[in-house]
Amino acid sequence: MPIDLKPEEVSSILRQQIADFKMEAQTYEIGTVLSVGDGIARVHGLANVMAGELVSFASGATGMALNLEEDNVGVAIFGDDISVREGDEVRRTETIASVPAGKGLIGRIVDALGNPIDGGPPLQDVTPSVIEVKAPGIIDRQDVKEPLQTGIKVIDALTPIGRGQRELIIGDRKTGKTALAVDTIINQRGQNVHCFYVAIGQKRSTVVQVYETLKKYGAMEYTTIVAATASDPAPMQFLAPYSGCAMAEHYRDNGGHALIVYDDLTKQAQAYRQLSLLLRRPPGREAYPGDIFYLHSRLLERAAKMSDERGGGSLTALPIIETQANDVSAYIPTNVISITDGQIFLESNLFNSGQRPAINPGISVSRVGGDAQIKAMKQTAGSLRLDLAQYRELAAFSQFASDLDASTRRQLERGARLMEVIKQGIREPLPVAKQIVIIYAGTKGYLDEVPVERVRDFERGLVDALDSTYSDLIDLINDQQALTDEVKDRIDRALKDYQRVFNENL
Amino acid sequence: MFIKTSKAARRYARAIFQLAVEKEAEAEVRADFQALAGLLRDSAEFANLVHDPAHHVHRQQEAIQKLFGERAHPVVLDSLLFLAGRGRLAELPFICEHIEKLHCERNAILRARIATAAPLDDEQLTAIRERLEKRFGKTVEAAAQIDPSLLGGFKVRVGDAVLDFSIRTQLQRLRESMINA
């Protein structure tokens, strides 16, 4: 399209601008770089600089003042430190780090400072938002009361997550932690929950994989990815969770709902350890600095369910922690376990024996989500938890006994089928009503006659049938939200009906 | 402006300065240290004597006695001999800086560096100094400096603060405002 602009107009606009330009003195405070290395600059001067303030170097690089000492200031440099030289001028900016927040971020991939890195156009419709803010106070909050449906049967039944909760996902490498989080994001489609996926210290190829998956399932329409990959400097990896949180808070504070996944906080702790050691802060346990607990607690406290006066918005956090050889008594895992409102344990031996998602239902807990479960699920899941606990006990015991009495054998048979029921394929989230029917079938003994290896087929067929033949049953459960006698009766009839069809096709 | 600093230098400087104040010889001591700082800059031999650890303590002390025995204030002479005895003579440049700083703090003096593209005459310099004194409410000691890259106007540095009236910065600002408009 030709731009219709005459040279005379251009010069008149320029003339106007020059005429409007006011000669003003620039006043600023400066310091001098004493030494620079490993992404850290020591600066002399800057006497009035504040902790956490951004400073700009003569080369154009920016940094954050982290250590204020008697005769120098320790500055973490964002980006490349090669351009910064000894003797360079450092200028105060009198601002603290902020990132863009708002609608313009939806569907984008940005770095820890909010700059788009997906090759797309500049961000539009965003407002700057300070990265480090205090968590909402006590009066501003209320109890977690609405469910955040993950679409994963075992989580929604046994360790339910409410909107505004912090639920930790913990496990060794390759146990399906990220898959669990991504499935949860995919299941938020149409739930009016804005999702943020913060990738910290990951491979760029992994981030692309997550992006492609989310795009394939239409989840990028309500998701933002914040990426500080392994090749980004430590200060960026340290900042990324706070940046993502600041972006997500925009929804929380405006009465909306947001979900944020920190994948993973172990890497963030390591980045912060690197920064701290280079700043010569004293090392403590596992060489982490003394304020490593505060690093995570102040981040996770920002997840909240706001009171109705404050709009009733929520921010749900799913932090991820990677353990080494299932050791949850290491420093960072114990810290984050104690901060969060419960944890989902993933175990590699479960994963390898085909129990996927590899969640250990025995030690996974949710401290607040139970209040947020719909009543029907609460009624169904109660007996599931009991049956599974009994099964685990008997399964260990029965390995030594050759012949068992009938009731024990029945419990073992039931347990084995329930273990099949809580299996679920990746990217196959289920709506809560269907979950209820399936778990009901398991706990009420409708699966006892089905061979263990056919349970998954039974379930698949049942899900299809619930979509077609019994779709009014799903509507009824969604409508009533509880297992009333009417609902129970309808489920029983439907299950008997389906059982007959299934057996005929056997 | 000093770049590097040492805690030891700060402590020695404070002790020497307090002693000078007690003996009511602040101005003389400061002048002597100013002269010493000048000497360190100008005389390679004196700098060598101060910095080279190969010189024996007694030889250093002998030299100091010979050089300054007659000329320096007793407080300064004793300080130098003491520093030599403690093997801290290498801190002398920093001590000079700190004495200067302490003197300025005590007497509410601000040291300003005024950079201009072209040399200033005395009248202009005084005018700028008076404006600064009014602004900061302190006595200002100004040092002029030529920096052609400023293009015009002037730039004052007082401590960590910079007041920038230079044409270079104004042009940069004009450029930014046109890009952002």
- Name the residue with tokens 């930014």: B176
Q: Quick check: helix, strand or coil at residue A101?
A: strand
Q: With left for phi above 0 and alpha for psi between -120 and 50, is residue B7 left, alpha or beta?
A: alpha
Q: Does A392 participate in catalysis according to the annotation? A: no
Per-residue confidence at B1, pLDDT binned at 50, 70, 90?
very low
Q: Which residues pair with A366 in a beta bridge?
A: A342
The answer as to whether B2 is a domain residue is: no
User: What is the domain range of residue B171?
Assistant: 109-180
Torsion of CA A124, A130, A135, A136, to 10 degrees: -60
Higher pLDDT, A54 or A71: A54
Q: How many Cα atoms sit within 13 Å of A68 on the Cβ side?
A: 9
pLDDT of residue A156: 95
Q: DSSP letter at A143?
A: -
Contact A14 B161 (CB under 8 A): no
pLDDT of residue B140: 87
pLDDT at A498 over 70: yes
Do B60 and B81 share a structural domain? yes
Cite the DSSP H helix spans in B43-110: 44-51, 57-68, 74-85, 92-106
The answer as to whether B61 is a domain residue is: yes
Tell me whether residue B116 is exposed, middle or buried, using C-beta atoms within 10 angstroms of its C-beta: 0 to 12, 13 to 18, 19 or more. Answer: buried
Q: How far apart are CA A121 and CA A295, in angstroms?
A: 33
Average of per-residue pLDDT across A5-9? 78
pLDDT of residue B3: 46
pLDDT per residue as tens digits for the range A150-164: 999 999 999 999 999
User: How many angstroms separate the first and last alpha carbons of chain B?
Assistant: 39
Last residue of a domain, one of B105, B124, B139: B105
Higher pLDDT, A408 or A193: A193
Q: Which of A91, A141, A298, A367 does the annotation list as catalytic? A: A367
Q: What residues of A are in contact with residue B163 (Cβ under 8 Å)?
A: 25-27
Q: DSSP letter at A116?
A: B
The tokens for A77 are: 């440099």
pLDDT per residue as tens digits for the range A426-471: 999 999 999 999 999 999 999 999 999 999 999 999 999 999 989 9
Distance in Å, alpha carbon of B34 to nearest chain A alpha carbon? 22
Do B12 and B87 share a structural domain? yes
Average of per-residue pLDDT across A10-38? 84
The answer as to whether B125 is a domain residue is: yes
pLDDT at A399 over 80: no
Q: Which residues of B touch A (CB under 8 A)?
A: 1, 3-5, 7, 157, 159-165, 169-170, 173-174, 177-178, 181
Mutate to test the interface with B, among A13, A26, A33 (most CBs of B within 10 A): A26
Contact B160 A27 (CB under 8 A): no
Nearest to A27 among B163, B170, B181 (CB): B163
The tokens for B70 are: 């007659």
Contact A87 B163 (CB under 8 A): no
The tokens for A492 are: 């029983």
Do B73 and B50 share a structural domain? yes
pLDDT of residue A25: 76
Q: Quick check: helix, strand or coil at residue A448?
A: coil
Give the amino acid at A482: A
Last residue of a domain, one of B105, B128, B163: B105
Contact A47 B159 (CB under 8 A): yes
Do B60 and B29 share a structural domain? yes
pLDDT of residue A22: 75
Output the pTM of the full model. 0.87
Tell me whether residue A166 is exposed, middle or buried, using C-beta atoms within 10 angstroms of its C-beta: 0 to 12, 13 to 18, 19 or more. Answer: buried
Do B55 and B28 share a structural domain? yes
pLDDT per residue as tens digits for the range A278-292: 999 999 999 999 999
The tokens for A504 are: 């005929």
The answer as to whether B1 is a domain residue is: no
Total tally of structural domains belonging to chain B = 2
Average of per-residue pLDDT across A176-184? 96
Do B100 and B116 share a structural domain? no
Q: Which H or E element spans position A84?
A: none
Size of interface A-B (CB pairs under 8 A): 47
pLDDT per residue as tens digits for the range A196-248: 999 999 999 999 999 999 999 999 999 999 999 999 999 999 999 999 999 99
pLDDT of residue A3: 61
pLDDT at A172 over 80: yes
Contact A30 B173 (CB under 8 A): no
Output phi, psi for A79, to 5 deg: 85, -150
Nearest chain A residue to B158 by CA distance is A29
Do B98 and B12 share a structural domain? yes
DSSP string, B121-178: PHHHHHHHHHHHHHHHSSEEEEEEEE-GGG-SSEEEEETTEEEE--HHHHHHHHHHHH
Contact A45 B178 (CB under 8 A): no
Torsion of CA A331, A333, A339, A342, to 10 degrees: -150
pLDDT per residue as tens digits for the range A254-304: 999 999 999 999 999 999 999 999 999 999 999 999 999 999 999 999 999
Distance in Å, alpha carbon of B174 to nearest chain A alpha carbon? 7
Q: What residues of A are in contact with residue B169 (Cβ under 8 Å)?
A: 26
Last residue of a domain, one of B58, B80, B105: B105
Mutate to test the interface with A, among B160, B164, B167, B169 (most CBs of A within 10 A): B160
Q: Give ∠ CA A96-A98-A100 in degrees, rounded to 5.
A: 165
pLDDT of residue A2: 54
Average of per-residue pLDDT across B65-77? 88
Higher pLDDT, B17 or A1: B17
User: How many angstroms separate the first and last alpha carbons of chain A?
Assistant: 67
Do B115 and B101 share a structural domain? no
Average of per-residue pLDDT across B132-136? 87
Do B145 and B92 share a structural domain? no
What 3 state SS string does A382-442 have? Answer: HHHHHHHHHHHHHHHHHCCCCCCCHHHHHHHHHHHHHHHHCCCCCCCCCCHHHHHHHHHHH
Residue A312: count of CB within 10 angstroms of its CB: 18
Mean pLDDT (chain A, rounded): 92
The answer as to whether B55 is a domain residue is: yes
Q: Check: CB of residue A312 under 8 Å from CB of residue A107.
A: no
Average of per-residue pLDDT across A78-105? 92
- The fraction of chain A above a pLDDT of 90, given in percent, is 82
Contact A18 B162 (CB under 8 A): no
Q: How far apart are CA A249 and CA A302, in angstroms?
A: 8
Output phi, psi for A127, to 5 deg: -125, 145
Q: How far apart are CA A153 and CA A360, in angstroms?
A: 13
Q: Quick check: helix, strand or coil at residue A310?
A: helix
Average of per-residue pLDDT across B121-137? 88
- B126 Cβ contact list (under 8 Å, min separation 6): none
- Name the residue with tokens 């969640």: A359
Do B124 and B93 share a structural domain? no
Q: What residues of A are in contact with residue B178 (Cβ under 8 Å)?
A: 14, 17
Say whether the peptide bond before residue A283 is cis (omega within 30 degrees of 0). Answer: no
Distance in Å, alpha carbon of B13 to nearest chain A alpha carbon? 15
What CATH number does residue B33 fall under? 1.10.520.20
Cα B125 off chain centre by: 19
Q: Check: CB of residue A257 under 8 Å from CB of residue A313.
A: yes
User: Computed over its alpha carbons, how large is the radius of gyration of chain A?
Assistant: 27
Q: How far apart are CA B7 and CA B10, in angstroms?
A: 5
Do B95 and B172 share a structural domain? no
Do B160 and B136 share a structural domain? yes
Average of per-residue pLDDT across A346-353? 94
The tokens for A466 are: 């619930």
**E strand map for A270-346:** 314-322, 342-346
Counts of helices then strands in chain A (DSSP H, E): 15, 16
Distance in Å, alpha carbon of A57 to nearest chain B alpha carbon? 15
Per-residue confidence at B181, pLDDT binned at 50, 70, 90?
low
Higher pLDDT, B143 or A247: A247
